[in-house]
Amino acid sequence: MQRFMPTVKTVEELKALQLEGLKWTVNHAYFGSRAYREKMEKAHVRPEDIRGLEDIKKLPFTTAQDLQDGYPFPLLSVPFERVVRIHASSGTTGKRKVLSYTKKDIQDWAHFFARCYEMAELTLLDRVQIAVGYGIWTAGVGFQLGCEEFGAMAIPVGPGNLDMQCQFLVDFQSTVLCCTASMALLMAEEVHKRGIRDQIALKKVIFGSERSSDAMRKRIKELLGVEHLFDIPGMTELYGPGTGLDCVYHTGIHYWADYYILEILDPETLEPVPEGEIGEMVVTTLKKEAVPLIRYRTRDLTRLIPGQCPCGSILPRHDRILGRSDDMIIFRAVNIYPGQIDHIISHISGLGSEYQIILDRGEDGKDYMTLKVEREMGMDPSKDMELKRRVEEEIKKQILVSAAVEIVDYGALPRTDRKSKRVFDNRGI
């Protein structure tokens, strides 16, 4: 029996619910927050102007800057006596983002996080080992809150401490592991090294929002012997983790459209991209009290997945996070994201994962793209021509541009950390 799925049963009902939530949010923010009211006044829009879902276009965008400007309690739309908790982002650039929650916000978050576990087809007998960070961040408490609301057994371990993690996997017979992809890989290798795979009972791993390569996922699945890997998206601004999950068919991430509206916009023009194309995720909450979000630009890139999922859910789907809009390249009037190149080369065997994109302006005034890709370790260079042709064809087919591909030796491109510089734009202005 489903206990946490939306109460509405058809797409029409879902849209009606969204409109009701949108009207409520705009009204609530306008009268509850001076910052929001000033933004709306500047955009010449009032709550009564929102009559249909399409009127969302009239509303001004909210950005990370708005959160920073209002530090430490930005965009607060309720009096302080209604705030029961705050969380903060890790704050890698500039000030931390601090978000406030009312009691109802916490209950709503627990409810839709419980839906994640339901989507992953857990039962009350599942034992959920939570190996993400606890503290001011939303991760640990989010996973735990949702687990308890769902009714499975939470084992709150926190990150790291591989010794204890392995011991708990054996002693408590945990069936679900929640962690980042890199932590899952560490755990998988540790389980393998200790030779305890046949003593553990893991069936499912739920990944936090860190990006993971297909190769990494394959290795985790093999070493741990699990049936399913799920991707859980989330950001502090939008409650925290748990704002969607892929179902057991793994055709994309179902997102909770009864809690927020997701627009996918071209980051340059801020107009919607056609369904299925990549753009920036812009979110508007429908029920959030303490800090509602109105057209919040997340800078994360993804695409909507058209069509219906075999699971029959009316909840729409988006792809995994494919990168940041700040990384976008405009080449011959086409928007290109490094994540798209990543995706193409990870699906062609014989290639490594390192690449560089080089953009030049020719004497004819046209732009040219060169893509350098490493050959897979130990691969014979005699296949280079064939590989080059395949990559060029896929780029043409999937991104609709031409690139000259060079296959280089394994290890030839520099390695730094996850944020290696991959794009070299020599085109001037």
d(C-alpha 261, C-alpha 243), whole Å: 11
Place of tokens 């998206």: 233
By beta-carbon proximity to Zn ion, the closer residue of 246 and 300 is 246
In angstroms, what is the minimal distance from the CB of 312 to Zn ion?
7
Of 295-314, which residues contact Zn ion (CB under 5 A)?
309, 311, 313
Strands (E), 303-427: 304-305, 317-318, 323-324, 329-331, 334-336, 351-361, 367-375, 404-408, 423-425
Look up residue 313 and give its amino acid.
Answer: S
By beta-carbon proximity to Zn ion, the closer residue of 108 and 246 is 246
In angstroms, what is the minimal distance from the CB of 320 to Zn ion?
15
Q: Is 245 in the site for Zn ion (CB under 5 A)?
A: no
In angstroms, what is the minimal distance from the CB of 205 to Zn ion?
18
88: β partners: 98
In angstroms, what is the minimal distance from the CB of 230 to Zn ion?
11
Q: Is 155 helix (H, G, I), strand (E, B) or coil?
A: strand
Place of tokens 């794009």: 423
Look up residue 213 and give its amino acid.
Answer: S
Residues 6+ apart with CB under 8 A from 161: none
The stretch among 5-13, 35-43, 177-185, 248-256 that binds Zn ion (CB under 5 A) is 248-256
By beta-carbon proximity to Zn ion, the closer residue of 55 and 121 is 121
Token pair for residue 279?
């753009």
By beta-carbon proximity to Zn ion, the closer residue of 311 and 358 is 311
In angstroms, what is the minimal distance from the CB of 313 to Zn ion?
5
What is the tally of helices (H) and strands (E) in the chain? 10, 23
Q: Which of 247, 257, 291, 399 binds Zn ion (CB under 5 A)?
A: 247
By beta-carbon proximity to Zn ion, the closer residue of 309 and 336 is 309
- Residue whose C-alpha is closest to residue 77's, from 237, 292, 239: 292
By beta-carbon proximity to Zn ion, the closer residue of 6 and 140 is 6
The stretch among 91-99, 243-251, 263-271, 380-388 that binds Zn ion (CB under 5 A) is 243-251
User: How many residues interact with Zn ion (rule CB under 5 A)?
Assistant: 5
Footprint of Zn ion (CB under 5 A): 247, 249, 309, 311, 313
